[in-house]
Structures are given as structure tokens and as C-alpha cells.
Amino acid sequence: MKLISILKKSDEDQRVAFASIVLLIVTIALSTVTSASITGTEFLAVYTFIFDAATGYLGRAIAIAGGLIGLGFGAASGKPVVAVVGIVLAIFGALGPQIINALFGSAVI
């Protein structure tokens, strides 16, 4: 019986060590991402293209189509949750790029 309790403790210690390592890696990655929001001019062209596509007519068309598809599936299945998901998709598609740009553009860590 004691051997089983010792093994369980070592499993818990391994989980704590693994969680600590994962937390360390995530912390390092987040600090890199934070500095990438103000540096990394080599990605500026890609960022500009994606942001312009998301906030332009392409992004609006995808948001409207997603909203209409969600509303259509919600009406066909009789489930209002599906319709609400479609509406949320349309709202996030329309407002999401500006919100994300504001979050990452103003991050000072």
C-alpha cells in the first residue's frame, strides 16, 4: 500500500514539474510575442494585407455570410443557439480586427 501512495506522489510531482515547464515556456513565448507587436518590420506587409482584408470588403462579406448561414441553420433546425452563434460570428467578424489591433497595439509589458 505504501508503494502505491509513493507512486501517486511521484506522479503528482511529475505533473507539477511538467506544468512548471509549460508555464515557463508560455511566459517566454508571450514575452517574445509582446516585443513582436512593436518590432518585426519584416512582417509589416503580411500584417497590413491581413488587416486590410479583414477590415475591408472581404472581411465584411465573410462576416455577413457567416451571420446569414448561422441564421439559416438556426431557422432550419429550430434552435436559437445556432442563430445566436451566427450573429456573434458576424459581430466578431466586423469588430474583431479593430479590437485585436487595439489589444496588441497598446500592450506595454
Beta-sheet strands, E only, within 27-95: none
| Tens of pLDDT, residues 5-31 | 554 556 667 777 788 888 888 887 766
For residue 8, what is its C-alpha cell? 501517486
Residue 107's pLDDT band, with cuts at 50, 70 and 90, is: low
Q: Which domain does 22 fall in, by range?
A: 1-36
Instruction: Please give the pLDDT value at position 28.
Output: 77
The structural domain count of the chain equals 2
**Per-residue pLDDT averaged across 42-53, rounded?**
84
Q: Tell me if 74 sits within 8 A of 83, measured CB to CB.
A: yes
Q: Are residues 58 and 18 in the same domain?
A: no
Q: Based on the domain organization, do 23 and 75 belong to the same domain?
A: no
Does 8 share its domain with 46? no
CB 95 within 8 A of CB 64: no
Phi, psi of 78 (to 5 degrees): 75, 20
User: Do both 69 and 50 map to the same domain?
Assistant: yes
Percent of the chain with pLDDT over 90: 0
Do residues 109 and 57 both lie within one domain? yes
Quick one: average pLDDT of 59-75? 87
